[in-house]
Chains A and B, each alone.
Chain A
Amino acid sequence: MSWVDVLQLELLGGTVRGTVAVLVQVLALPVLLYVLAINSSYLVLIGLAGVDMVRYLRRERIRGVEDASASPLTQSVSVVMAAYNEEAGIVGSVSAMLALRHPRHEVVVVDDGSTDATFALLREAFDLVEVPRRLPDDLPVRARIRSVHVPRGGRSPLVVVRKDNGGRADATNVGVNAARHDLVCFVDADSVLDPDALLTVSRPFADDPVRVVATAGAVRAVNGSTLVGGRVADVRMPRGWTARFQVVEYLRAFCVGRAGWSRMQSLILISGAFGMYRRDVVVEVGGMDTSCIGEDFELTLRLHRHMRRTHREYRVVFVPEPASWTEVPATRTVLARQRRRWQRGLAETLWRHRGMIGNPRYGRIGLVALPYFVLFELVAPVIELVGVVLAPLAVAFGLVPWQAAAALALLCFGYAAMVTVAALLVEEVSFHRSQRWRDLGRGLVAAVLENFGHRQLTALWRVQGLWSLLRGQRQVWGAMDRQGLAAGGAASAGTDVVVLPETRGALRASRADGTDRADRTDRTDRPLAGAGR
């Protein structure tokens, strides 16, 4: 007697098979059609992104970046970095931000109550002195401001604000209050920006000063790459597969989630890791919502809502290159936490703005982008998990021949892999930042292998995120074992070469030498639309 028979006879009196049979009959076709639809939609978005990127590249010569870098009229930018326990790389990161090419930019670092040496390192590296500067209260702030610091002698355009811990959104709002320039650029404290990133991402504001209210920059995974002087010099694939899967996810997501939507004038997600806004507009909409996990997504949606409600002509633009580079989780534990949080943030934000969904008042945002997000981002992991559970059960109960189930699963995986490889092709034709053949091979293998385990796990984590929201569990930030992307790039050492450590291995090494940094919080990565399937 097989174990299935035992299950039928002893546990449920033969009703399990019947239940599964009904479920298979009812759900199999919808799940299959859903998988077909979601991947086809991604393919369409990648096609649109391809068109957009070709369009962008054709204009490379006429973009006028050189002109902008020399013009005193270029709009000034305040780079706002919220930092919490970022001692691993804060000095290098701030140095790199100060060294970005731009005629007039300042860096505002908000130390959100760090318990490590984040501020001490900044004070030492930049010779900071405390000043009794009052910050404007343009945006409401929850936590208490402790002090404001500037470099002695005004040597560099840097402001460091120390405050009690209040979360990233609160810290960012403080940064906006402290920002003196017309544009504010939100970046993560461990982000590494390409040298022209500020100039290029601020360009649309100059080209269309009346309508452009926000621009989104591309974010890429940097694990395994080499940094020189706080800049990404050699793009490489990381060693671990968890990180590799995310490298292709990021490429796919920024094709699907940004460039494609931007092409349709429906960009609703600007990553908090690299987004630029008109300061007055951010103040007008009330800044970041401190009660929301997906604060960057929420801000973008609120911006759309506000502009549409006030009947203003506006544009939100995606700039596909240059990019901000961010470290992605290298361990499944951290990745799981991150994906749970992303999904929960997505659900919370969509719920908060549910009045926009399907509402013609919000144009394409309400009628296309938001319904798409609900259907293919919010619900996707649930349906995927249903498929993952149902298929083996159907085979186990003899409802579907295993050969047919396997072929069907392979077909689904193959289609998903094809979408990712199409995104890799768009990347190769457009920006081709990775130069090594070996890494190309690894990327292609990752595009296929991620379908066998990684995606299913991701779906599970995302469903867990939704479940925690439904149960009303309190969300806490998890630990992220980052090593500091710009490590070594001290204020006075702009040309240090740093090969970014493999996070997990380096963590072990750091533990060995007593410098465990695993208590640093994971708050910098942002949802990837189209990534977490």
Chain B
Amino acid sequence: MTFFAVVVLGLVLVSALVLALAVSIAAVRGLRARREAHRRAVAEPLRPLLLEVAVGEGEDAEAAADTLAALDTAAWRTVEPAVLAVLGKVRGDGQRLLVELLAVRGVITRERGRLHARGAVRRAAAAELLGAAAYAPAVPELAALLHDGDPEVRLVAARALGRAGAPGAVGMDAGDGVGQAASALLAALAGQQPAAPPDVVARSLMLLGAPAAGALRAALGAPSALERLTAAEVLGRLGVAAASRDLEEIVLRDPSDVVRARAATALGRIGAPLAVSALRAATSPTGAAAVRRAAVVALGEVGDPVALRCLWSLLDDGDAHVADGAASALLALGAPGVRVLAEVASQEQDGSPGAVARAHEVVACAVLAEVLPPLLVDEVDRVRRAAATRAAVVSVPGAGPATGAELLGVGA
């Protein structure tokens, strides 16, 4: 065979492949369009029934669920994706009816079986569905999946546990489903390598809500730093005031800076005034930067004027983040904090140039961006006018007081 013949043969082959690929594209598109048309033809008429079930009110919903339950296999197969798509978006009676419908159609049993499938994606998809269904009886199986060999499966199982174990989940009996889910989730963080990403676990623990508080408080004493950190984070976000004392202990004594910082943040979120002394101690210049920064922000969130002096003294801190945090925290404290800032900014209070500049910046930003309530703006104006009057008396007798914006050194 000559070189030319080989080239021509190659050309024919390549042309055939290009054509085959083009036909494949057209076939894929055509098949998809056909499948979509079929789905629309079957599923669209049933959509009102599905919505009726999802609303879950009255006998109409029950009747609609019965109609969907009685569909032949082919029609159900077409409708099932739509049912699953709605599943995670409804709560209450609608969710219960949908789960009952899935149970009647054998979907729940099928998916529970798939939790043990060979394929990781199948196991994860089954866990996802049972989570979306908030199917409480599956909590033990989902908890077991947290030990799965595949990280993706463990992640989905952690997410699903938050829904399936939450109060109000479908099929939740008097048994301690919440506690079981909480313990399993916290245990997932216990090892050297967490079984699931901490923020996914934390999100699920938040969904479990206040009933998980006991397990969370117990986890504050766990040997794993990640477990303590997550527990502190969730307790703060859930606003569990009863955990304040435990968190204060953590802020003051935990060996991990990250955990101490997170506990400080949690105390700020809870807003317990009694925590101020612990938070003030955490701002000590000898402390870790992360803890100091978190404590400063938390002092602003707690909202106790007792923190004023502490925050004021931090306005010229060597750590710019701590100093900025102190200025923002003073602003967050409302009128007393804003007054201190305005006084420092107008050099009414003794303050270093750094503190004056920082206070000026924070107040000016807040005033100019109009994020301060009118009462606080008036407070700023009052302090500034007083300072201006005094300054005018000293330098140019007879000069009138300026407006707050003018005194801040920026155009109104």
Given A62-B156, A131-B369, A410-B11, CB of A73 within 8 Å of CB of B202: yes
Q: Determine which residue in B15, B18, B125, B368 has the highest number of CB atoms from chain A within 10 A of its CB, and name it.
A: B18
B306 contacts the other chain (CB 8 A): no
Stretch at the interface among B19-27, B176-184, B396-404: B19-27
B39 contacts the other chain (CB 8 A): no
Which residues of chain B have C-beta atoms less than 8 A from A448's C-beta?
Answer: 18
Which residues of chain B have C-beta atoms less than 8 A from A67's C-beta?
Answer: 159, 203
B237 contacts the other chain (CB 8 A): yes
Which residues of chain B have C-beta atoms less than 8 A from A37's C-beta?
Answer: none
A154 pairs with B371, CB closer than 8 A: yes
Write out, one digit per residue, whether chain B residues 366-403 have a CB within 8 A of any chain A CB (1) or not (0): 00111100000000000000000000000000000000
B360 contacts the other chain (CB 8 A): yes
A66 contacts the other chain (CB 8 A): yes
B329 contacts the other chain (CB 8 A): no
Within 8 A of A (CB), among B75-114: 88-89
Shortest B307–chain A CB gap in Å is 23
Within 8 A of B (CB), among A393-450: 401, 403-404, 407-408, 410-411, 414-415, 417-418, 421-422, 424-425, 428-429, 432, 437, 440, 444, 448
Which residues of chain B have C-beta atoms less than 8 A from A64's C-beta?
Answer: 128, 155-156, 159, 200
Which residues of chain B have C-beta atoms less than 8 A from A425's C-beta?
Answer: 21, 24-25, 28
Which residues of chain B have C-beta atoms less than 8 A from A66's C-beta?
Answer: 88-89
A421 pairs with B125, CB closer than 8 A: no
Given A62-B156, A134-B361, A153-B370, CB of A444 within 8 Å of CB of B25: yes
B18 pairs with A131, CB closer than 8 A: no
Closest residue on chain A to residue B123 by CB atoms: A62
A428 pairs with B121, CB closer than 8 A: no
Q: Give A152 to B368 CA distance when docked, in angstroms.
A: 7
B242 contacts the other chain (CB 8 A): no
B7 pairs with A407, CB closer than 8 A: yes
Stretch at the interface among A169-177, A203-211, A284-292, A469-477: A203-211
Q: Give A424 to B361 CA distance when docked, in angstroms.
A: 54
B4 pairs with A403, CB closer than 8 A: yes
B410 pairs with A153, CB closer than 8 A: no
Q: Give A146 to B243 CA distance when docked, in angstroms.
A: 47
A129 pairs with B368, CB closer than 8 A: yes
A411 pairs with B11, CB closer than 8 A: yes
**Contact partner, A424, options B25, B121, B200, B371, Cβ 8 Å:** B25
**Contact partner, A411, options B10, B32, B199, B371, Cβ 8 Å:** B10
Which residues of chain A have C-beta atoms less than 8 A from B411's C-beta?
Answer: 130
A453 contacts the other chain (CB 8 A): no
B4 pairs with A58, CB closer than 8 A: no
Q: How large is the interface on A (under 10, 10 to 19, 20 to 34, 35 or more residues)?
A: 35 or more
A130 pairs with B197, CB closer than 8 A: no
Shortest B156–chain A CB gap in Å is 5
Shortest A285–chain B CB gap in Å is 20
Which residues of chain A have C-beta atoms less than 8 A from B29's C-beta?
Answer: 428, 432, 437, 440
B124 pairs with A150, CB closer than 8 A: no
Which residues of chain B have C-beta atoms less than 8 A from A417's C-beta?
Answer: 14, 18
A514 contacts the other chain (CB 8 A): no
A418 pairs with B152, CB closer than 8 A: no
Q: Give A410 to B369 CA distance when docked, in angstroms.
A: 65
Shortest B297–chain A CB gap in Å is 13
Which residues of chain A have C-beta atoms less than 8 A from B365's C-beta?
Answer: 131-133, 150
Which residues of chain B have C-beta atoms less than 8 A from A401's C-beta?
Answer: 4
B369 pairs with A150, CB closer than 8 A: yes
Which residues of chain B have C-beta atoms less than 8 A from A407's C-beta?
Answer: 4, 7-8, 11
Within 8 A of A (CB), among B321-373: 360-361, 364-365, 368-371
Which residues of chain A have C-beta atoms less than 8 A from B32's C-beta?
Answer: 432
Which residues of chain B have C-beta atoms less than 8 A from A414's C-beta?
Answer: 11, 14-15, 18
Q: Give A127 to B210 CA distance when docked, in angstroms.
A: 42
Q: Give A411 to B206 CA distance when docked, in angstroms.
A: 61
Which residues of chain A have C-beta atoms less than 8 A from B361's C-beta?
Answer: 132-134
Q: Give A437 to B409 CA distance when docked, in angstroms.
A: 63
A418 pairs with B200, CB closer than 8 A: no
Q: Give A425 to B23 CA distance when docked, in angstroms.
A: 10
Q: Give A67 to B163 CA distance when docked, in angstroms.
A: 11
A151 contacts the other chain (CB 8 A): yes
Which residues of chain A have C-beta atoms less than 8 A from B4's C-beta?
Answer: 401, 403-404, 407
Given A130-B410, A408-B7, A428-B28, CB of A73 within 8 Å of CB of B203: yes
Shortest B8–chain A CB gap in Å is 6
Q: Give A158 to B361 CA distance when docked, in angstroms.
A: 18
Given A411-B7, A421-B21, CB of A132 within 8 Å of CB of B14: no
Q: Give A429 to B27 CA distance when docked, in angstroms.
A: 10
A418 pairs with B18, CB closer than 8 A: yes
Q: Give A410 to B11 CA distance when docked, in angstroms.
A: 7
A61 contacts the other chain (CB 8 A): yes
A360 contacts the other chain (CB 8 A): no
Which residues of chain B have C-beta atoms less than 8 A from A429's C-beta?
Answer: 28
A129 pairs with B155, CB closer than 8 A: no
Shortest A314–chain B CB gap in Å is 16
Which residues of chain A have C-beta atoms less than 8 A from B8's C-beta?
Answer: 407
Shortest B388–chain A CB gap in Å is 18
A59 contacts the other chain (CB 8 A): yes
Shortest B59–chain A CB gap in Å is 31
Closest residue on chain B to residue A429 by CB atoms: B28
Which residues of chain A have C-beta atoms less than 8 A from B129's C-beta?
Answer: 61
Q: Give A207 to B124 CA distance when docked, in angstroms.
A: 14
B368 pairs with A207, CB closer than 8 A: no
Which residues of chain A have C-beta atoms less than 8 A from B14's C-beta?
Answer: 411, 414-415, 417-418
Within 8 A of B (CB), among A62-78: 62, 64, 66-67, 71-75
B368 pairs with A131, CB closer than 8 A: yes
Q: Give A404 to B6 CA distance when docked, in angstroms.
A: 10
Which residues of chain A have C-beta atoms less than 8 A from B239's C-beta?
Answer: none
B128 pairs with A208, CB closer than 8 A: no
A73 pairs with B199, CB closer than 8 A: yes
Q: Give A437 to B237 CA distance when docked, in angstroms.
A: 51
Write out, one digit per residue, whether chain A residues 151-164 have a CB within 8 A of any chain B CB (1) or not (0): 11110000000000
Within 8 A of A (CB), among B31-62: 32
Closest residue on chain A to residue B127 by CB atoms: A62
Q: Give A422 to B19 CA distance when docked, in angstroms.
A: 11
Write out, one digit per residue, whether chain A residues 80-104 have a CB within 8 A of any chain B CB (1) or not (0): 0000000000000000000000000
Given A407-B4, A408-B7, A444-B25, CB of A58 within 8 Å of CB of B410: no
B125 pairs with A61, CB closer than 8 A: yes
A136 contacts the other chain (CB 8 A): yes
Q: Give A452 to B244 CA distance when docked, in angstroms.
A: 73
**Contact partner, A62, options B28, B121, B410, Cβ 8 Å:** B121
Closest residue on chain A to residue B8 by CB atoms: A407
B21 pairs with A62, CB closer than 8 A: no
A207 pairs with B155, CB closer than 8 A: yes
B199 pairs with A209, CB closer than 8 A: yes
Q: Which 5 A-B pairs have the closest CB atoms?
A: A414-B14, A131-B365, A421-B21, A154-B371, A153-B370
Q: Could you show 20 A-B contacts with beta carbons less than 8 Å apart?
A: A64-B155, A66-B88, A67-B203, A73-B203, A130-B411, A132-B360, A132-B368, A151-B369, A152-B369, A153-B370, A206-B197, A404-B3, A404-B4, A407-B8, A414-B11, A414-B15, A417-B18, A425-B24, A428-B28, A432-B29
Using a CB–CB cutoff of 8 Å, the interface residues on chain A facing chain B are 58-59, 61-62, 64, 66-67, 71-75, 129-134, 136, 150-154, 206-209, 401, 403-404, 407-408, 410-411, 414-415, 417-418, 421-422, 424-425, 428-429, 432, 437, 440, 444, 448
Seed contacts A209-B197, A437-B29; 12 additional CB < 8 Å A-B pairs: A64-B200, A67-B203, A71-B203, A130-B368, A131-B365, A132-B361, A153-B369, A153-B371, A207-B197, A408-B7, A411-B10, A421-B21
